[in-house]
Amino acid sequence: MLKYESIQELVLEAEKRDIKISQLVLEDQARCMEKSEREIYEKMEESFQIMRESVKAGMDKNQRSTSGLTGGEGFLMNEYARNNGGLSGSFMTKAIARALSASCCNASMGKIVAAPTAGSCGILPGCLVSLYEDKEYDVKDIVMSMFTAAGFGMVIASRASIAGAQGGCQAECGSAAAMAAASLVELGGGSPSQCADALAIAISSQMGLVCDPVAGLVEIPCIKRNASGLMIAFSSADMVLAGLDAKIPADECLDAMAEVGDSLPKSLKETAKGGLAATPTGKKLRDQVFG
């Protein structure tokens, strides 16, 4: 059974057996959970369906968070995407809209898939639902790529952190973008080592990102950071598929992220006592919610 202690472990084992990371993780999880591969796959397929539903729910024009601070971001972005795609083009702006929508669904207490956390729940759906809806990727391939994201996510959780309270937002949106980048590379026909490179580039691109939720709620700036994380996932994957490598190995990037997270002051780790949460406007919004 796999230990999920390093990205290199997964890459070497997949390369030795000449299979994708996703197939490696699926087989290993079936053994660990003493279930058939079909049962494990169907559970992941259900998660993808929930992602699609969360995107749809968050796209509602009248959707609002329970705090009243956010709502409708996904709808507005999707409307913008329909106007010739904006500066980033139709595919990317619609993908951003989906990332925002899933995050808005979370803020309004809707059902989401924590991938790997609720605060970063828009990044993987934004990427994968967009490939399914707009580029007509096969649903089986997409669901299988989620096993690559999951396997790498387990390594991140073990070697570094996926919690904003422990490692800052680099551990949440950074990890989600890295997981998504790896899954995108696999879908793009990349090798296991290229999946690792995509993860490394995405992690390095958000190194040091702090967790500073206004009013202590996973809304401002968290929802918009999901959109930024999605862009980093796509750009990291495209760079790798174009032939660029990460230079710094994935596991070393994770170790660096863990070190940076440990170095962050408590005020920048989900306490709402620093960063944007401590700005004059941030404090006003907090008072608006809590009085």
Q: Which residues pair with 269 in a beta bridge?
A: 211
pLDDT score recorded for residue 238: 98
Kindly report the backbone phi and psi dihedral angles of residue 241, in degrees, each rounded to the nearest multiple of 5, phi listed first: -65, -20
Q: Which two tokens stand for residue 207?
A: 């190194």
Contact between 174 and 206 under an 8 Å Cβ cutoff? The reply is yes
Q: Which two tokens stand for residue 152?
A: 């790498």
Contact between 169 and 177 under an 8 Å Cβ cutoff? The reply is no
Q: Residue 285: which of 63, 57, 58, 65 has the closest Cα?
A: 65
Query: Domains of the chain: which residue ranges?
Result: 7-290
Contact between 126 and 230 under an 8 Å Cβ cutoff? The reply is yes
Query: For every one of its 291 residues, what pLDDT tens digit does the chain have, with 9 covering 90 and above?
Result: 899 999 999 999 999 999 999 999 999 999 999 999 999 999 999 999 999 999 999 999 999 999 999 999 999 999 999 988 999 999 999 999 999 999 999 999 999 999 999 999 999 999 999 999 999 999 999 999 999 999 999 999 999 999 999 999 999 999 999 999 999 999 999 999 999 999 999 999 999 999 999 999 999 999 999 999 999 999 999 999 999 999 999 999 999 999 999 999 999 999 999 999 999 999 999 999 998
pLDDT score recorded for residue 291: 85
Q: Which two tokens stand for residue 240?
A: 């790798």
Gap between the Cα atoms of 125 and 102, Å rounded: 7
As to burial, measured by CB atoms within 10 angstroms (0-12 exposed, 13-18 middle, 19+ buried), residue 90 is middle
Q: Which two tokens stand for residue 63?
A: 């959707």
